Amino acid sequence: MHRFANPARFQRLSVRVQPWLAWGAGLCLVVGFYLALVRSPPDYQQGEAVRIMYIHVPAAWMALFVYTSMAVAAAVGLVWKHPLADLYAKAAAPLGAAFTALCLITGSLWGKPMWGTWWVWDARLTSVLILFFLYLGYLALIHAFDDPDRGLRAGNLLLLVGIVNVPVIKFSVDWWNTLHQPASVSRMGSPTMVADMLIPLLVMAVGFTLYYGVLVLMRLDAELLARKLQVLDTLAAHGAGVANVPSEA
């Protein structure tokens, strides 16, 4: 982990990895959409509305994955002072919020034909909404301080506190009586979903993950460049201040 603490070394690796991730994401998403929209059969109960699942479920998985990775980065940043950990969380937050918003929107579109309503205060839906607010709260908190480092530390604490919501989202359908269906893929034993639906869903999930990898690396590169420019501006301002100090006779 500390091997890539050097920003220059990390950026060299990032430049090499990004094209591979981009090609992989594009291939998976194209194949996934084809399988989901053309090859996958309609559900015997939900009909064609089931195709929303191929966006909704990967978006939900990514919402949880991104927040969990941000919380891990927060712990690494607070304990080991890894220089890239804080920047990773900052770079990932808008992406995680976008995945969560996509999950909520597609879930609402899916819920209308299935439940007859756009929204219910279901345990799963409510906990995912809380996750979305945690993302927004983190983004607001890191920009609430004049000192960026203080803002990132405060954001890290929020991430570590908010991680308790992740298992609540995961197990809410088991702990409470909810309208949301229980897990059909990540369950003990074997998935209850037929292969014609499971394969497109997994391909889409891989595509979403690779796409996230590309975007978060690009945002990390931008954050590192911004930090470098900030340091150069500080040095230039300090140098100008020294130059303006009158010399003593």
User: What is d(CA 209, CA 103) in angstroms, rounded to the nearest whole number?
Assistant: 15
State pLDDT tens for residues 153-200: 999 999 999 999 999 988 877 666 665 666 655 554 556 678 889 999
Residue 137: pLDDT above 60? yes
One-character DSSP codes across 56-93: HHHHHHHHHHHHHHHHHHHHHHHHH--TTHHHHHHHHH
At residue 190, the 3 state secondary structure works out as: coil
| Amino acid 2: pLDDT | 57
Helix 195-244 / helix 53-80 crossing angle, nearest 10 deg: 40
Question: Confidence class of residue 244 from pLDDT cuts 50, 70 and 90?
Answer: low
State pLDDT tens for residues 201-241: 999 999 999 999 999 999 999 999 988 887 777 677 766 65
- % residues pLDDT > 90 (the chain): 59
Task: For the chain, give every domain's residue range.
Answer: 17-226
| Amino acid 199: pLDDT | 94
Residue 64: pLDDT above 70? yes
17-226 is a CATH 1.10.533 domain: no
- % residues pLDDT > 70 (the chain): 84
